[in-house]
Amino acid sequence: MICTVTKSELNRSTFRTVFDFGDREVAHWFPGHMAKGLKQMRATVKNVDCILEVHDNIPVSGRNPLFQESLDVRPHLLVLNKMDLADLSAKNRILKQLQRDGVKNILFTDCLSQRDENVKKLVPMVIDLIQSNPRFHREEDTNFCLMVIGVPNVGKSSLINALRRTNLKKGRASKVGGEPGITKAVLTRIQVCERPIIHLLDTPGVLPPKIPSLETGMKLALCGTILDHLVGEDVIADYLLFSLNRLEKYSYVERYGLGEPTDDIQQVLKHIAVKLGKTQRVKAITGVGNITITVPNYPAAAYDFIRAFRKGELGQVILD
Ligand SMILES: Nc1nc2c(ncn2[C@@H]2O[C@H](COP(=O)(O)OP(=O)(O)OP(=O)(O)O)[C@@H](O)[C@H]2O)c(=O)[nH]1
């Protein structure tokens, strides 16, 4: 049998199979003030009928085991948001994995879409869940109260806005931000449905992500859960390239005019910088005097590469 291996395939066979995280210290990646939320959430949970736990394209390792330990006393719906950015061919595998972890109720959403059918299903699902579980001291109350929780930047505020848009035809109530931790730890009740009356407790639900390994930490960083500068945009960009190659998502090659997949982040960033005109003129001292040379602005290119991924422009991906 004749087996033809292209030059590009041969190159790819030399790509990294493991990422070298170095001796980074994840302990400092998560600002302490966010951990305070958990205490507040524990105190609040007794006034809640159902918990909406929101996650994005790290649906398994992005979850915080503290949730199961301290908040899993109420009916629970896991909302996997940003599904427009996810590779849905992995959906069944993820569902099985989550079911093995004891998660029974799961809904996939895209909160930015005005026509997401699953956002419409959320209220009926929640009502079903509440009515099939004991409500204890809240049995007489005809109004329902939900709590939204999740690690930063997964779209909790966007979900609240989508629910208001869908069920009340109302606009934004919750501030949406691209930086993790924009939702402040203040308890706010936001109405999301008229019949029955359903309120959501916005904002206390920022769980500090549990970072059991550098790999999980880097996935969280890639999805914008951790402030970029705490991890380093250069290393996030390199981990992004590593992940795209591992998942065989090669659309970056054409987008940045690279010719073929590469495992070399400097090469990718150089192309991005040139393509986007993100170059800097710097002075260099040579043996024959000072000259000005043009060099790629690597930080700006890294920033652009990461942003493109988060907007789904480098393909649909599930990192778990
Ligand atoms: N593509 C896509 N982006 C989304 C979706 N939902 C939210 N986003 C974006 O994700 C970013 C974070 O959204 P927020 O709603 O502020 O997230 P949050 O969980 O409230 O954030 P914190 O306040 O940091 O806890 C924003 O840039 C949103 O536009 C979605 O379904 N799809």
Q: State the virtual CA torsion across 130, 136, 138, 139 in degrees, nearest 10.
A: 70
Residue 217 reports pLDDT greater than 60: yes
CB of 180 closer than 6 A to ligand 1? yes
Is residue 128 classed as helix, strand or coil in its secondary structure? helix
Within the chain, all domains assigned CATH 1.10.1580.10 are found at 7-13+214-310
Rounded CA-CA distance 316/4 in Å is 29
Q: Tell me, what's the pLDDT at 186? A: 45
Quick count: other Cβ atoms within 10 Å of Cβ 146?
Answer: 26
CATH class of 7-13+214-310: mainly alpha
Q: Tell me, what's the pLDDT at 263? A: 96
* Gap from CA of 177 to ligand 1 centroid (Å): 7
Type of residue at 318 = I
Residue 241 reports pLDDT greater than 70: yes
Residue among 17, 19, 15 nearest 215 (CA): 19
Q: What's the burial of 171, exposed, middle or buried (CB within 10 Å: 0-12/13-18/19+)? A: exposed
Of the chain, the percentage scoring pLDDT greater than 90 comes to 46
**Minimum mean pLDDT range among 82-86, 204-208, 276-280:** 204-208
pLDDT tens digits along 161-194 = 899 999 988 766 666 655 555 454 445 678 889 9
Residue 105 reports pLDDT greater than 80: yes
* Gap from CA of 164 to ligand 1 centroid (Å): 15
Residue 209 reports pLDDT greater than 70: no
**pTM for the full predicted model:** 0.81
Contacts 24+ apart (CB under 8 A), 109-112: 109/79, 109/80, 109/81, 109/83, 109/159, 109/162, 110/81, 110/82, 110/83, 110/84, 111/81, 111/82, 111/155, 111/158, 111/159, 111/161, 111/162, 112/84, 112/158, 112/162
| 232 phi, psi to nearest 5 deg | 110, 120
Task: Quickly name the fold that domain 32-202 has.
Answer: Rossmann fold (3.40.50)
Q: Tell me, what's the pLDDT at 140? A: 82
* Minimum CA distance residue for ligand 1 atom 17: 155
Residue 14 reports pLDDT greater than 90: no
Binning pLDDT at 50, 70 and 90, where does residue 37 land?
Answer: low
Predicted ipTM beyond 0.90: yes
Is the separation of the CB atoms in 56 and 82 below 8 Å? yes
Q: Which residues pair with 283 in a beta bridge?
A: 292
**Minimum mean pLDDT range among 98-107, 208-217, 305-314:** 208-217
Residue whose tokens read 């002075």: 283
Of 32 and 77, the one with more pLDDT: 77
Of 99 and 29, the one with more pLDDT: 99
Residue whose tokens read 């931000």: 177
CB of 177 closer than 6 A to ligand 1? yes
Within the chain, all domains assigned CATH 3.40.50.300 are found at 32-202
Q: Tell me, what's the pLDDT at 34? A: 56
Residue 158, annotated as binding a ligand: yes
Name the DSSP class of 181.
Answer: T
What's the average model confidence in pLDDT over 298-306? 95
Residue among 60, 31, 30 nearest 320 (CA): 60
Average pLDDT value over all residues in the chain: 85
Is the separation of the CB atoms in 51 and 147 below 8 Å? yes
CB of 65 closer than 6 A to ligand 1? no
